[in-house]
Amino acid sequence: MAVALASQLREGTKKAHTMAENTGFVSCFLKGVVDKASYRTLVADLYFVYSAMEEEFGRLREHPVVGPVAFPELNRRESLEQDLAFYFGGDWRNAVQPTPGAQQYVERLHQVAQECPELLVGHHYTRYIGDLSGGQILKNIAQKAMSLGEHDGLRFYEFAAIADEKGFKANYRTTLDGLPIDQAMADRIVEEANHAFHLNMTMFQELEGNLIAAIGKVLFGFLTRRQRSGSTEVAAA
């Protein structure tokens, strides 16, 4: 018997969602403080995560639970490849590697795909629907903070194949609710979705060190300029 998985995922991940938004990196990002070096590392990490996810969903497209949610309109790998080419140049494949947190995330995706593919639904919901829901807002923040062009390095947030976001998400929820699972599996999927949030938080926390260092450099430069300015003023007096 089908269960109301969509509402269970939404309600069951609220706490983890809030915790992820309150990490230093995401909190700064939402306030418009974006370090380009940290951001491009995030883009690289997401490339490895989505490559693993889309590889497994492609392999399991005939699976009765995994297959129905594998909407090709959501795929992000090609968009991330375009962004990486922008940030790292044409030889980007040799320039990027996953951080430890991203590698842990990738390994978890492959593990559940082998041991219990149904759990991939929790990862799919956490990443793709989150990206679709907040994509335009995050794109605008990143574009303004890093003085980017309309599309430069921002393809990740663009879902060109989805004309009606509201309608698509309604269809996605209906699909979730129609999956052939019982309540015990629904509970496990919600639990895995929470784990997905924590894996994302680990990646964000790794980036906080780079962000803090970047902010420190800016503050140091500002204070140094003020000291030099003050010295000049004293000498002139």
Which of the listed ranges 117-126, 206-215, 220-229 does the model predict with the highest average pLDDT?
117-126
pLDDT tens per residue across span 7-56: 999 999 999 999 998 888 888 888 888 888 999 999 999 999 999 999 99
C-alpha–C-alpha distance, residues 129 and 235, integer Å: 60
Total domains in the chain come to 1
C-alpha–C-alpha distance, residues 158 and 100, integer Å: 27
| 69 found inside a domain | yes
Give the DSSP H or E segment for 174.
helix 165-177
176 pLDDT above the threshold of 80: yes
pLDDT tens per residue across span 117-164: 999 999 999 999 999 998 888 899 999 999 998 889 999 999 999 999
| 237 found inside a domain | no
C-alpha–C-alpha distance, residues 68 and 177, integer Å: 11
Q: Which of 77-91, 183-197, 217-231 has the lowest mean pLDDT?
A: 217-231
| 155 found inside a domain | yes
Q: Which domain holds residue 54?
A: 5-212
| 118 found inside a domain | yes
| 182 found inside a domain | yes
- Provide the CATH number for the domain around residue 105: 1.20.910.10
pLDDT at 135: 83
Amino acid at 45: D
Q: What is the pTM of this model?
A: 0.87
Which of the listed ranges 172-181, 204-213, 214-223 does the model predict with the highest average pLDDT?
172-181
| 231 found inside a domain | no
- Residue 228 pLDDT grade (very low, low, confident, very high; cuts 50, 70, 90): low
Beta carbons of 117 and 63 less than 8 angstroms apart: yes
| 217 found inside a domain | no
C-alpha–C-alpha distance, residues 107 and 32, integer Å: 32
C-alpha–C-alpha distance, residues 62 and 85, integer Å: 33
pLDDT at 221: 47
Nearest alpha carbon to residue 109 among 119, 99, 100:
119
Going from the C-alpha of 237 to that of each of 223, 224, 226, 228, the distances in angstroms are: 21, 20, 16, 14
C-alpha–C-alpha distance, residues 170 and 67, integer Å: 18
Nearest alpha carbon to residue 214 among 23, 40, 20:
40
pLDDT at 123: 98
| 86 found inside a domain | yes
pLDDT at 90: 95
How many CA atoms are closer than 13 Å to the CA of 169, on its beta-carbon side?
A: 13
